[in-house]
């Protein structure tokens, strides 16, 4: 996801006395290795200036909010006394992917503030970007897996039960992470540091060996990263909604429990599509622009829209935990139980010590009172 930041969001700004020239890391992958200057004709330069000023603060805000929220979700799900259900395993992996993404954002916030001079070295240049790319692919496929699990729980209630075991969910999660890493490996290979003498900066740029890699990467994002999983999710969702309306299923108590979990899953799905669809559309338009380079204004306008679409996609990492708290009744219960078990232990221990001390004091007072009365009263003969 952060590679999207450097390809589609970040713009280098160099204001001269008469014009504003921008060079984007998107253009750093030309065959000659030389930078390209883009003079924007259809877009006001003040918009780019506003975006540059807006980006660092927004990235820091997403980092702080997302790190707190997703850490909270992971702590509750991983350290609660009860075992995670299959949907919770997938949602916990989504929270981990979101946490990895937001932890990479400060690097780009600092990079933008430094006029896109990358001070963190080659390793972090590759690592930060690979983490961002993996977030895009892993998140959508964890949602696909959780949709399939809801489908099996509500539509195939009496069959395929083995696929809903937690062991299978953990193996599925491992496969998703591995595939996401493999899909993102070209970006990791092509991501490199490059010095630009004209701007006196060393940029973390995506340097493709040939120009056709850009549309290939865009198609991969659109088809593998959105269309295919969305088709699976749509089919599962339609079947789930149909099953929830079934009068026979509504009588089953187990299905009522599954229904509450399904409401949370559907809410997370809708939020993901809402946040990511604009970016997927702008990526598709960018592919069209590649094959129709004469549409100069389309490219410039799409660059601006891509900035806003990517901000919308970033916000998904902050909004998911909010949904867990608002919609997820089971998660609310787990969170309350976890923190009740965490904090009152010392209080209960101190209360028990106070109780024991009080009992000892009471025993001592009773014993001394008995001895006093015994000494005063005459003994019977």
On whether the CB atoms of residues 109 and 56 are closer than 8 A, the answer is: yes
Comparing 79-93, 94-108, 162-176, 331-345, the range with the smallest average pLDDT is 331-345
Q: How far does the chain reach from its first CA to its final CA, in angstroms? A: 97
Residue range 217-222: average pLDDT? 90
| CA 123 vs CA 120, 129, 191, 192: distances in Å | 8, 10, 10, 9
Greatest mean pLDDT among 75-89, 116-130, 286-300 lies in 116-130
Instruction: Using the predicted structure, report yes or no on whether residue 326 has a pLDDT greater than 70.
Output: yes
Measured distance CA(1)–CA(298) in Å, rounded: 23
Two structure tokens written together for 346: 């010392």
Instruction: Using the predicted structure, report yes or no on whether residue 98 has a pLDDT greater than 50.
Output: yes
Measured distance CA(22)–CA(47) in Å, rounded: 12
Higher pLDDT among residues 329 and 7, named by residue: 329
| Rg from Cα positions in the chain | 29
Comparing 9-13, 101-105, 214-218, 346-350, the range with the smallest average pLDDT is 9-13
Distance from the Cα of residue 24 to its chain's centroid: 26
The per-residue pLDDT for 356 is 55
Q: Is residue 358 part of a domain?
A: no
Q: Is residue 349 part of a domain?
A: no
Helix, strand, or coil (residue 38)? strand
The per-residue pLDDT for 77 is 86
- For the chain, what is the domain count? 1
Sheet bearing 20-23, strands edge to edge: 12-15, 20-23, 38-39
Comparing 56-60, 89-93, 242-246, 312-316, the range with the smallest average pLDDT is 242-246
Digit-coded pLDDT (tens) for 278-304:
999 999 998 888 888 777 777 778 888
Two structure tokens written together for 133: 């790319």
Helices (H) and strands (E) in the chain, counts: 12, 5
Q: Is residue 365 part of a domain?
A: no
User: 13 pairs with which residues across the strands?
Assistant: 22
Of all residues in the chain, what percent carry a pLDDT higher than 70? 72
In this structure, what are the phi and psi dihedrals at residue 85, rounded to the nearest 5 degrees? -75, 170
On whether the CB atoms of residues 217 and 209 are closer than 8 A, the answer is: no
Helix, strand, or coil (residue 289)? helix
Of 66, 204, 57, 194, give the one whose Cα is nearest residue 127: 204
The per-residue pLDDT for 28 is 32
Q: Is residue 45 part of a domain?
A: yes
Q: Is residue 361 part of a domain?
A: no
Boundaries of domain holding 237: 2-342
Q: Is residue 370 part of a domain?
A: no
The per-residue pLDDT for 66 is 93
Q: Is residue 26 part of a domain?
A: yes
The per-residue pLDDT for 39 is 52
On whether the CB atoms of residues 92 and 78 are closer than 8 A, the answer is: yes
- What angle do helix axes 86-113 and 253-291 make, rounded to 10 degrees? 30
In this structure, what are the phi and psi dihedrals at residue 378, rounded to the nearest 5 degrees? -75, 145
Task: Supply the CATH number for residue 236's domain.
Answer: 1.20.1070.10
User: 203 pairs with which residues across the strands?
Assistant: 194
Digit-coded pLDDT (tens) for 333-373:
888 887 777 776 555 455 544 555 555 554 555 455 555 54
Q: Is residue 347 part of a domain?
A: no
Residue range 29-56: average pLDDT? 61
Q: What is the mean pLDDT of the chain?
A: 76
In the DSSP assignment, the letter for residue 83 is: P
Reduced DSSP (H G I as helix, E B as strand, rest coil) percent helix, strand, coil of the chain, to 5: 75, 5, 20
Measured distance CA(174)–CA(162) in Å, rounded: 18
Q: What is the dihedral of CA 352, 355, 361, 365, to 10 degrees?
A: -150
pTM: 0.76
In this structure, what are the phi and psi dihedrals at residue 79, rounded to the nearest 5 degrees? -110, 5
Measured distance CA(195)–CA(84) in Å, rounded: 48
């Amino acid at each position: 996801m952060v590679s999207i930041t450097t390809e589609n969001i970040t713009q280098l700004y160099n204001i001269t006395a008469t014009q504003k020239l921008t060079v984007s890391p998107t253009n750093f992958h030309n065959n000659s290795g030389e930078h390209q200057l883009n003079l924007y004709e259809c877009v006001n330069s003040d918009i780019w200036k506003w975006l540059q000023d807006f980006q660092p603060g927004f990235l820091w805000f997403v980092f702080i909010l997302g790190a707190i929220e997703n850490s909270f979700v992971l702590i509750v799900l991983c350290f609660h006394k009860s075992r995670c259900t299959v949907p919770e395993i997938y949602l916990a992996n989504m929270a981990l992917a979101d946490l990895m993404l937001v932890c990479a954002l400060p690097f780009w916030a600092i990079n933008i503030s430094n006029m896109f001079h990358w001070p963190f070295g080659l390793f972090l240049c590759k690592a930060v970007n690979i983490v961002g790319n993996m977030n895009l692919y892993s998140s959508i496929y964890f949602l696909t897996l959780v949709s399939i699990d809801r489908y099996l729980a509500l539509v195939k209630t009496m069959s395929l039960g083995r696929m809903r075991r937690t062991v299978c969910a953990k193996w599925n999660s491992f496969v998703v992470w591995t595939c996401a890493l493999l899909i993102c490996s070209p970006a990791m290979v092509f991501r490199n540091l490059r010095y630009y003498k004209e701007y006196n900066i060393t940029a973390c740029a995506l340097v493709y060996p040939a120009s056709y890699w850009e549309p290939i990467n865009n198609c991969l994002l659109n088809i593998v990263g959105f269309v295919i999983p969305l088709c699976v999710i749509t089919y599962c969702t339609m079947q789930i909604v149909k099953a929830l309306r079934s009068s026979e299923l509504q009588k089953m108590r187990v299905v009522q429990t599954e229904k509450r979990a399904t409401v949370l899953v559907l809410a997370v799905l809708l939020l993901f599509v809402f946040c990511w669809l604009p970016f997927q559309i702008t990526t598709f338009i960018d592919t069209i622009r590649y094959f129709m380079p004469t549409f100069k204004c389309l490219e410039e306008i799409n660059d601006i829209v891509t900035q806003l679409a990517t901000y919308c996609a970033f916000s998904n990492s902050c909004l998911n935990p909010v949904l867990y708290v608002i919609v997820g009744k089971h998660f609310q219960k787990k969170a309350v139980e976890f923190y009740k078990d965490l904090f009152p232990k010392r209080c209960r221990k101190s209360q028990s010590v106070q109780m024991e001390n009080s009992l000892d004091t009471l025993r001592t007072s009773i014993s001394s009172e008995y001895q006093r009365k015994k000494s005063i009263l005459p003994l019977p003969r």
